[in-house]
Amino acid sequence: MRAINKLQADFLIAPDWLFHRSDLVLHQVRSKPATSSKSSNEFYKKKRDLGPKTRLGLNDVMLAAFFLDTKATLELLRRGRDFRFKTENGLSVMHFAALNIRYGVELVSIYFFCGLDPVEPDCDGATPIDYALFCGFYQTAEWLLLITNPGINLLHYCVMRNQLEMAERVAEMKPELLKKCSPDGRNTLHLAALHSDWAMCNWITEMMQSLNQRLLYSECQMRGCTALHYAGLNKTHGVELVCLFANWEMDVNKRSLKGYTPVHFALIAENLETAKEMIRLGADYNAKMFDKNPMKVLLAWERFESVKFLHSCDKDLIHHARVKGLHPIHFAARYADLDFVQWLVEVAGISVHRLSLKRMSSPLHYAGSNLRHGAEIANYLIDSGVEVNRKNQIGETPLHCALRHENVDVAKLLIDKGADLSEKLNGENYLHFCLSNGAEICAKLVYDCRKGLINDVLSNGTTVLHIAAEKATLPTARWLIEAGANIDAQTNDGKKPAFFAKDETMRLYFQELLIQQDIICVAFLTTPSVQSPSRVHLAEVMAALNGIFGPELVAMFSLLGLEPNDPGSNGVTPIDCALDAGQLGTAEKLLKLHNAGCNLMHYCVVRNDLCHALDVLRSDYKLATAWSFDGRNALHLAAQYASENLCQRLIEEMKREGQQNYVGTLCSNRGGSSLHYAGLNVHHGEKVTSILIGYGLDLNLKDKRGYTPFAYALMAENFVVAEEMLKFQVDWRKNKIRGQNLMTVCILMKKYESVKFLHNLDEKMIHRIRISGMNALHHAVREADLETCRWLVENAGISAKKVCKRESSCLHYVGSNKSHGADIARYLLGLGLSVDHKNNDGMTPLSDALVAKNTEVVKVMLEHGADLKVRCKGDNYLHLCLRLGAFDCAKLVYEKKRRLIRERTLDYGKSVLHIAAENASVETVHWLLREGADFYAKTTKGEHAWSFIKNDNKEMHECFNALIDAKLGMAFKMNYEHLDKLLDASLHICAHI
């Protein structure tokens, strides 16, 4: 390391001498004759700045990477030097390693394995590959390209970067690269047509013409596309490229393997200027896609600007287009925005009263499923005369459609516009309908508008609470009970809401409520001494052992509100005592008081009580075939809870009773076999599985939801059973659940230990996961812990820098993780993810964290230098917090950059006080004023903040009344429509005084 110390000393004394070598390299490069004077890359236009850029702000690791060998570099790394440091021009250590003449390949490899990005650009957008190419270090450039994108060569890279000068130099060195294709079958001209300008494409065509004219007209090997197809995707230079390729007599109507012509590519990319040029040169705009009307395909892919363009070419096409059986006006109401709907009506001449052929639905029905633009479209349609209460063929109104899709904005609008809340569909009112379809937020909206709907009963006696117990969540059930729903209501066949509970949590909640209700009812009849737990248990045990009056004694204790199954100090319940004494009648009575959905056989197998189970079975073998409350028989329960001995004895005993097919009986509710439930057996599942397979049960049988026994084991994270099933060659790869593979289902169910288990079986599967455009890591950062995310990156090999379909990075989803989001955010930021990256909706990770109101994640992102100058849809971050009512987040953002309080929105010039008056609380308004918000600020339309207060916000009205009184020194009690003039007059008078 003496060389390092000497180098550092020389750097401090004589920096000009130290950089003499870089100047020499630059001199050699500049002295070479240039093959072209054109270069479209900004980096090469400013190549004289390369010398100064490599001089400013270097640390010792950069110097070593620039001048020394691998030993010196490794020694610096061993000493813990900062190799992630960047200069003020954005150069990383990787840039300097790429400029090392002798050891460049070794050094970039070292830093690549240390986690540096080989393609991270500097301030001019130049990557380490550009640096190596510029200095003529082709071996280093090729190696960098190989470790980042092994499918393309140097010429492809230069073409895709639109670097003509470098492309000419690479082609001069390796002319055979012109004939090479990328991994997806595209040649150099195809890539140029997609990424480059006229000069690059013209040079490539001339080179190909001189080498082999057939190259010029060759097609993509995988897609059958010509260069003219890819020119249709080039929005910057597409027009000039089309003219160039037309001069070479390329066919403008040539079809790809999937039947697309070049003009189809341009229309799909909404590259309308290029499409016009193609049509001018003879392209058939009416050529069919997939043997379908092109207008229909463009509508299906939501290319609405191209639809308008095609309509200008042929005004009849739009009237013959049907997408998924829908007319364009119905499709637009569901998927498009207001502008396109207005264009269809006012320009294309389509009637808003048109009904769909399938269900005779109006466009207003379909607007209910449009979550982004539905409200404004619905408002336009209603103003245009569409009937609010019109029913379709199955009796649904537009409000039904909005409620089914939980489109709260459209539902509110329809109710405000006069939707009839007394309407019923198949006997269900709107509240029943919301709960049946899982629209719990809308259920509260409907209830607030008409509270009497909670008392309506269906013809079979079902109430809203029966439906909620079966289909809704526990918070919704609690809300309904608090609103007055009757927990004792019974259907016509005598079933209470507790009977319909969809899971164990819901069932226990209803049981607890019923028990509490019973205790309250008898509290006035009992004395505190009777409630002693020891005396209660003793009395119940005595009742259980009483062979004559046992059932009557149990009933009496139950009336006193005593818990019928409270265990004693030894863990023995009264039912156990009754079974030991052979008092099956007493045991059955106790069990019915405790759990109406099970019989004694079910009780015994769940407790893995073989002796008593055999006694009960011999008394009445039909108890083993009876269904429990969730549709399972005794063998299903035994497979989940009991040992292999109990399962085997139960099967053999049932065979003696003539029940030969008992082992193959399926659950009446879910359709699962006993083997499915063996996957849930944590203690005995391995041996139970082996026994059941021996009886011929199918390992690949699916239940009604599509789950196999192997899938059950994965959902329970019971890997011992899963491994046992794998021994019998279960075909788990073909198990699709609603079209998704098992790993996808595990990710959706947040079973990340099962994801790891499947990854050990197939390491490639996790890289094929795409759920709504997101990979496994995107889901994990939203729901899992840091350990799981770290495993996905470091063990599963998923790149943390991958973006989803919406161009959101992993950091965008961290805000949704309230438990572990902060730790995961720190980890991802340490991997180099940008905290200011915007997705297709214009949202940054910080804005998504603010939307989720995750203050811990917001703190982390602010600590890591989130750019507070960024605006999201015209709002700065403080505006966004106030719109969302995120007061704590607003304080964090403000403390980081106080100047935000003075900024205005881009729409109408609203101040923070305008937004707070409309969306925030009184406390927020007072805080803003204390921090210096302008009370008299006006929008571009001359409106004050109090003009935006909602009519029903009485507290905010009172707050501003008091503030106005204090500001003006008098108590004005008048309407806000006169207040602006009064304020202006007062200020004018004060100014003259």
pLDDT digits (tens, 9 = 90+) for 237-282: 999 999 988 888 888 888 888 888 999 999 989 999 999 999 998 8
Q: What is the pLDDT of residue 319?
A: 81
How does DSSP classify residue 665? P
Q: Check residue 645 and give its pLDDT.
A: 92
Ranges 33-42, 113-122, 265-274, 343-352: which has the least confidence: 33-42
Task: Read off the pLDDT of residues 590-632 as tens digits, 9 standing for 90 and up.
Answer: 777 666 578 889 889 988 988 888 888 888 888 899 988 888 9
Average pLDDT, the chain: 81
DSSP 348: S
Q: Do 24 and 87 fall within a single domain?
A: yes
Same domain? For 805 and 887 the reply is no
Cα–Cα dist 177/180, whole Å: 5
**Whether the predicted pLDDT of 546 surpasses 60:** no
Task: Summarize the confidence of residues 758-768 as an average pLDDT.
Answer: 83
Highest mean pLDDT among 144-153, 409-418, 610-619, 754-763: 409-418
Whether 834 is covered by a domain: the verdict is: yes
Of the pLDDT bands very low, low, confident and very high (cuts 50, 70, 90), residue 355 is confident
Query: Residue 191 domain-assigned?
Result: no
Per-residue pLDDT band at 57 (split at 50, 70, 90) = confident
- What pLDDT does 402 receive? 93
Q: What CA–CA distances, in Å, run from 284 to 239, 304, 700? A: 17, 19, 52
Instruction: Tell me the percentage of the chain whose pLDDT exceeds 90.
Output: 17
Task: Please give the residue that has the higher pLDDT: either 216 or 80.
Answer: 80
Most confident of the ranges 89-103, 204-218, 577-591:
89-103
Pick from 150, 171, 197: which residue ends a domain?
Answer: 150
Q: Which residue has the higher pLDDT, 528 or 569?
A: 569
Query: Would you say residue 533 has pLDDT above 50?
Result: no
pLDDT of residue 77: 82
| Domain-embedded: residue 258 | no
Any domain includes 943: yes
Q: Which amino acid is at 595?
A: N
Stated pTM of the model: 0.46
Are 399 and 308 within one domain? yes
Backbone φ, ψ for residue 292 (5° rounding): -125, 155
Tell me, yes or no, whether 229 lies in a domain.
Answer: no
Same domain, 823 and 919: no
377 and 408 share one domain = yes
User: pLDDT tens digits, residue range 174-226?
Assistant: 888 888 888 888 888 889 999 999 999 999 888 887 776 666 777 887 788 99
pLDDT number for residue 10: 30
Q: What is the pLDDT of residue 387?
A: 92
- Other CB atoms within a 10 A radius of the CB of residue 114 amount to 12
Same domain, 880 and 989: yes
Q: Please report the DSSP string for 793-833 in residue order.
A: HHTS---TT---TT---HHHHHTT-TTTHHHHHHHHHHTT-
* Residue 850 within any structural domain of the chain: yes
Indicate if 802 and 881 belong to the same structural domain.
no
Distance (Å, whole) CA 702 – CA 670: 10
Residue 357, Cβ neighbours under 10 Å: how many? 12
Nearest-angstrom CA–CA distance, 38 and 707: 62
In a domain, 125, yes or no: yes
Instruction: Tell me, yes or no, whether 855 and 888 share the same domain.
Output: no
Highest mean pLDDT among 309-318, 584-593, 636-645 belongs to 636-645
What DSSP string runs through 706-734?
Answer: S--HHHHHHHTT-HHHHHHHHHTT---TT
Return the pLDDT at 399: 93
Q: What is the pLDDT of residue 986?
A: 44
Domain CATH code at residue 329: 1.25.40.20
Q: Is 915 found in the same domain as 892?
A: yes
Q: Give residue 183's pLDDT.
A: 83
Q: Identify whether residues 396 and 360 lie together within a single domain.
A: yes
| pLDDT of 977 higher than 50 | no
Residue 505 has pLDDT above 70, yes or no: yes
- Confidence tier at 379 by pLDDT (50, 70, 90): very high
pLDDT on residue 563 = 56
* Residue 912 in domain: yes
Among 777, 745, 771, 770, CA closest to 758: 745
For 102-137, the three-class secondary structure string (H helix, E strand, C coil) is CCHHHHHHHHHHCCCCCCCCCCCCCCHHHHHHHCCC
Band of residue 152 on the pLDDT scale cut at 50, 70, 90: confident
12 band by pLDDT with thresholds 50, 70 and 90? very low
Task: Please check the confidence at residue 969 and state whether its pLDDT lies above 70.
Answer: no
What's the CA gap between 508 and 496, in Å, rounded?
14
User: Which of 801, 836, 867 delimits the end of a domain?
Assistant: 867
Domain interval for residue 904: 876-993
Residue 397 has pLDDT above 90, yes or no: yes
What CA–CA distance (Å, rounded) separates 544 from 625? 26
What's the pLDDT band for 373 if we cut at 50, 70, 90?
A: very high
Residues 975, 944 share a domain: yes
pLDDT band at 50 (very low <50, low <70, confident <90, very high): low
Q: How many domains does the chain have?
A: 4
pLDDT at 529: 36
* Per-residue b or e along 167-190, where b marks 16 or more CB atoms closer than 10 Å to that residue's CB: bbbbbeeeeebbeebbeeebbbbb
Q: Does one domain contain both 5 and 117?
A: yes
Least confident of 326-335, 372-381, 481-490, 529-538: 529-538
Residue ending a domain, among 843, 867, 891, is 867
Query: What does 194-261 look like in DSSP terms, one character per residue?
Result: HH--HHHHHHHHHHHHHH-HHHHT---TTT---HHHHHTT-TTTHHHHHHHHHHTT--TT---TTS--
Q: At a CB cut-off of 8 Å and minimum separation 6, what does 922 contact?
A: 955, 956, 959
pLDDT value at position 24?
Answer: 32
